[in-house]
A and B are shown apart, each in its own frame.
Chain A
Amino acid sequence: MQSLQYLEIILGYLVCGIVGMFGLVLVWKMLNNDIDLKNLLSDDDGQASSSRFQLMVFIFVIALSFFLVVVSNVKIRQSGLPKPVGSGQQGSSQPDSPIPDVPGGVLALLGISASSYLVSRGISASTNGTTTTTTTAPGATVTTTTPDKKTP
């Protein structure tokens, strides 16, 4: 039993190291422009897009908040202290899980943000004379953008 626990910890460190290396390689490639971020905020016309920018801001803020809450919950579990009253785990399937529930308001904010981006893309596509078609199949959604047929 003792050896299994050691194996579990060794594997944990190994996976942690591999994921960390992947992350650092990605960041290094971004820093050296091997991964080109020039058009991260750009629309098809090459101009920066407000809708892309606000979507990026919201995603970063929610991701950072989620991580802060997970770290806080892990620390509470390790210290053995009881969770504070009203800590939002009432609806969780695992009350002791450090993974927090995401409130409906946060999902609404992300939904508004992502919908705005999509609608903005649709308006851009119609301005540029293109047609965007979305095909939904079980387990996959494919969006294709094709130029409008020009009449002779």
Chain B
Amino acid sequence: MAGLTQVIIWEVWVLLFALFAVLALHLLTGQINTSGLFMRKDGARTFSPERVQLLLATFAAAFQYLNQVVKDPSHLPEVAPRWIALVGGSHAIYLGHRFYLNRSDKKK
């Protein structure tokens, strides 16, 4: 049974690695559309700091959590409240600004 468990573990590793590799390849070669990821969706199509901070907060929280798991993979670690506050605040800024732009566009 231990052999079967090892096979399953290797199989999932291979599939996960293949999936990540395909997605990374598609992202890097532009086959997955990333145009406008940092641009506002209003008519001006200007640079959007709120999107950049959202992605920075996302990557920071994701990297911090993954780092915790790699250090001690015996259990899923609890997320510190300050990280939840950071991610929540970042999303609030992003959504608040989108809502504000949406209202401004409608008033025009």
Contacts and interface: CB of A to CB of B under 8 A. Distances in A.
Partners in one complex: yes
Interface residues of B, number: 61
B94 A73 contact: no
A135 to B, nearest CB: 24
Nearest to A55: B58
Contact of B75 (A30, A51, A100): A100
Contact of A101 (B14, B37, B76, B94): B76
A47 B66 CA distance: 29
A60 B84 contact: no
A37 B27 CA distance: 10
B54 A50 contact: yes
A130 interface: no
Contact of A38 (B9, B19, B33): B33
A132 interface: no
Contacts of B38: 50
* Most chain A beta carbons < 10 A, residue from B38, B39, B58, B59: B58
Do most interface residues of chain A lie in helix, strand or loop, or is the interface mixed? helix
Interface of A: 9, 12-13, 16, 19-20, 23-24, 27, 30-31, 33, 37-43, 45-51, 53-54, 57-58, 60-62, 64-69, 71-74, 76, 78, 83-84, 86-89, 100-106, 108-109, 112-113, 115-116, 119-120, 123-124, 126-127
Interface of B: 1-2, 4-5, 7-9, 11-12, 14-16, 18-20, 22-23, 25-26, 31-39, 41, 51, 54-55, 58-59, 61-62, 65-66, 69-70, 72-81, 83-84, 87-88, 91, 94-95, 98-99, 102, 105
6 contacts: A58-B62, A61-B62, A65-B76, A72-B74, A74-B9, A87-B74
